[in-house]
Amino acid sequence: MPASAADLGRQRRRFVWQACFFLLFALAPVFNIFRYDLEAGHAWLLGMPWRLGLDAFMAGRISGLEAGGNLLLRLFLPLLLAAGGLMWFAWRWGRIYCGWLCPHFSAVETINQLMRRASGKLSIWDRQALPPRLADGSPRPSHPVWWIPTVLFAIGFAALWAVVLLTYLLPPAEVYGRLWALDPTRNQRIFLVAATSVLTLEFLFARHLFCRFGCAVGLFQSLAWMSNRGAMVIGFDKPRAADCAACYDNGGPGYAACEGVCPMRLRPRTAKHKMFACTQCAQCVSACGTVQEQRGKESLLRWVDKDAARRNEAQVSLTGNRD
């Protein structure tokens, strides 16, 4: 299978994973798969009520020792197992949850592309616009009219997130029923307006900053990944560095297709510690494969792990940079 076809298949699979997980995120409260009900005073898990047993302790029906055991088995142990499993995956494969599942990151990628069409940049804070062509050389000009769908999408996605988050705290039937009747309670209106406003500002102005430093899930994944020298990482074929000198003629001087597609605005050919926020989306691999295939060659970038990852980092340490 040609490299570009394999890369295209990988990106399609990633899109399917993102879409399925977003549906799970939005529908989990509706089917009581997971949520905490403030009105009932207990959580729901896989359709069943999940109580800590503190009410029984307060009523004197169980001892303090039994209450402590309930907290350990029903709260702390599940949290530790979930966090430990996530950290183990991150230790081996990096922030793969972010790149392949996270519903926030799917919004980041979509807004990136809309903002590129509106301004030629992936963020309003970027100093220079990207060349108006994609990795395959096809044109992607920018036009200010695209600011309209960009802003509308950010507001709409923020409003959707606000509603979904509210259903994790209140019965979904009540939330959606009141919204359908245009009659939310005062507290619901305050929550929805505040959450939509904050999320809209974050999507438009600080989504990359949030992913890098504001998201605890992403931050701890990165820390676990950095601690493992053999973890999966984007490797660069250093002996073929000359093929990287001019990525493609219509890209402009010094332009690299891998940098232009990175949703986190990273430089994939740099050292691992500079790729701290890499989400393992592999879009840089796909872009490089597309460019090199036009020259009858293989991608300079690829996923590597274990000894290959250690050798890759050693090469970077000796040269100081992959560029």
Each residue's pLDDT tens digit, 130-182: 888 888 778 888 999 999 999 999 999 999 999 999 999 999 999 999 999 99
How many Cα atoms sit within 13 Å of 255 on the Cβ side? 20
* Per-residue confidence band for 226, with pLDDT thresholds at 50, 70 and 90: very high
pLDDT at 248: 55
| 219 or 132, higher pLDDT | 219
Query: Of how many residues is the chain composed?
Result: 323
* Per-residue confidence band for 1, with pLDDT thresholds at 50, 70 and 90: very low
DSSP assignment of 227-287? T-TTS-EEEE-GGGGGGGSSS-GGG-TT--HHHHH-TT---TTS-GGGGTT-----HHHHH
pLDDT at 250: 45
pLDDT at 90: 95
Q: For residues 252 and 89, what is the distance between their CA atoms, to the nearest angstrom?
A: 38
Say if residue 249's pLDDT is above 70.
Answer: no
Range list of H helices, the chain:
3-27, 54-58, 64-71, 77-93, 96-100, 103-119, 147-167, 172-180, 186-201, 207-209, 216-226, 257-261, 283-293, 306-319
* Per-residue confidence band for 251, with pLDDT thresholds at 50, 70 and 90: very low
pLDDT at 3: 55
pLDDT in tens, 6-28: 777 889 999 999 999 999 999 99
pLDDT at 323: 47
pLDDT at 16: 96
Over residues 232-248, the mean pLDDT reads: 82
Say if residue 4's pLDDT is above 90.
Answer: no
pTM of the model: 0.86
Flag the least confident range among 21-30, 125-134, 240-249.
240-249
Say if residue 219's pLDDT is above 50.
Answer: yes
pLDDT at 114: 96
pLDDT at 2: 53
Flag the least confident range among 164-168, 204-208, 247-251.
247-251
* Per-residue confidence band for 285, with pLDDT thresholds at 50, 70 and 90: very high
Q: For residues 253 and 243, what is the distance between their CA atoms, to the nearest angstrom?
A: 14
Of 300, 295, 298, 296, residue with least CA distance to 312: 300
Say if residue 67's pLDDT is above 90.
Answer: no
Of 220, 210, 184, 206, residue with least CA distance to 94: 220
